[in-house]
Amino acid sequence: MDVRTIGVIGAGQMGHGIAHVLALADYDVLMTDISPSALDQAMTQIEANMGRQLRREIITRGDMEAALRRIRTTHKLADLGPCDLIIESATERESVKRAIFEDLQPHLGPGTILTSNTSSISITRLASGTDRPERFIGFHFMNPAPVMRLVELVRGIATDESTFETCRRVVERLGKTAAPAEDFPGFIVNRILMPMINEAVYTLYEGVGDVLSIDKSMRLGANHPMGPLELADFIGLDTCLAIMNVLHDGLADTKYRPCPLLVKYVEAGWLGRKTGRGFYDYRGDAPVPTR
């Protein structure tokens, strides 16, 4: 299938990042969100991020101007129906995603491929609620999408080979690398990454080290570019908790039990950078550990 138009559902950090990279790869992009202000903010952020790439000479002004012209926005989910490919990047809650696909289904073209940018939810279950499970696949970008080079392509049990190959070609056109993954909780990246973050929170919870010592140890001792608690704040503690719950529920192994301290931070609304506080407090001139 020749993909030319791509719909993006959700204009948050992941959604606008995906729209950004698609437009730079010469795809026509139609982005939607339930919040009109979110769409406006997304376009402002995309222009700012492309401007940063322009200053670093990663793209040219012509690239930027052409890409911005390729992105359109709409408040109506149904408008995405005629797209060749649709990437859902809404809130990481299965009930929300299933409702979106249910509302979208009557408006889809017969050949439209549906994908989800979910980081952990079963592709097979999401696909089973649609009329095209064979044309449904996980299309998991890493955050931030304009920078990170990997995309996990997650086959559900019914995903056919032509759907996989079509999406693999899209990933290649984006200049990224596809990592094929099977549909098990957390897929590849989060199956490995989230337990590490959760264990770092346990290390803090049990008083083995404080926030700074834990992050410093992993940066300097394991050569990680970010410490695990700093990374958790960047991802969002609510997202980390949601993925740990998926791992714990789906694999029924106590080693995936979310740390009580992670639960407590989420209950407090301290979700990381996006709320101004997480394991660090970002409200001042420099981040300060909160524990």
Q: Looking at the predicted structure, is the pLDDT value of residue 1 above 80?
A: no
Tell me whether residue 11 is annotated as binding: yes
Tell me whether residue 12 is annotated as binding: yes
What's the CA gap between 248 and 24, in Å, rounded? 38
Q: What is the pLDDT of residues 273-289, one digit of tens each?
A: 999 999 999 999 999 99
Residues 130 and 214 in one domain: no
What pLDDT shows up at residue 120? 87
DSSP state of 158: T
Catalytic annotation, pick one of 94, 140, 198, 230: 140
Tell me whether residue 14 is annotated as binding: yes
The total domain count for the chain is 2
Q: Which of 32, 99, 97, 31 is nearest to 70 (CA)?
A: 31
Instruction: Report phi then psi at 85, rounded to 5.
Output: -140, 140
Residues 71 and 206 in one domain: no
Residues 268 and 147 in one domain: no
- Max CA distance (Å), the chain: 56
Mean pLDDT of 247-255: 95
Residues 21 and 156 in one domain: yes
Tell me whether residue 274 is annotated as binding: yes
Instruction: Write the CA distances from 84 to 2, 113, 160, integer angstroms.
Output: 8, 6, 16
Q: Which of 243, 275, 286 is nearest to 262 (CA)?
A: 243
Is 152 among the catalytic positions? yes
What's the CA gap between 120 and 186, in Å, rounded? 4
Give the domain-ending residue among 163, 182, 201. 182
Containing domain of residue 39, as a range?
5-182
Residues 176 and 216 in one domain: no
Give the domain-ending residue among 152, 182, 212. 182
Tell me whether residue 119 is annotated as binding: yes
What's the CA gap between 167 and 57, in Å, rounded? 28
Is 49 among the catalytic positions? no
Is 190 among the catalytic positions? yes
Q: What is the pLDDT of residues 191-222, one digit of tens each?
A: 999 999 999 999 999 999 999 999 999 999 99
Helix boundaries (H) for 76-131? 94-104, 123-128
Catalytic annotation, pick one of 120, 152, 198, 230: 152
Give the domain-ending residue among 121, 148, 182. 182
List strand residue ranges (DSSP E) for the chain, in order: 5-9, 28-32, 71-74, 85-88, 113-116, 136-141, 150-155, 177-182, 280-281, 288-289
Is the backbone peptide bond immediately before 144 cis, with ω within 30 degrees of 0? yes
What's the CA gap between 146 and 280, in Å, rounded? 25
What pLDDT shows up at residue 51? 97
Is 224 among the catalytic positions? no
Catalytic annotation, pick one of 119, 120, 122, 198: 119
What pLDDT shows up at residue 180? 97
Residues 92 and 59 in one domain: yes
Instruction: Report phi then psi at 96, rounded to 5.
Output: -65, -45
Q: What is the CATH number of the domain that holds 85?
A: 3.40.50.720
Q: What is the pLDDT of residues 136-187, one digit of tens each?
A: 999 999 989 999 999 999 999 999 999 999 999 999 999 999 999 999 999 9
Mean pLDDT of 29-44: 96
What pLDDT shows up at residue 4? 97
DSSP state of 257: P
Mean pLDDT of 53-64: 97
Catalytic annotation, pick one of 117, 120, 190, 198: 190
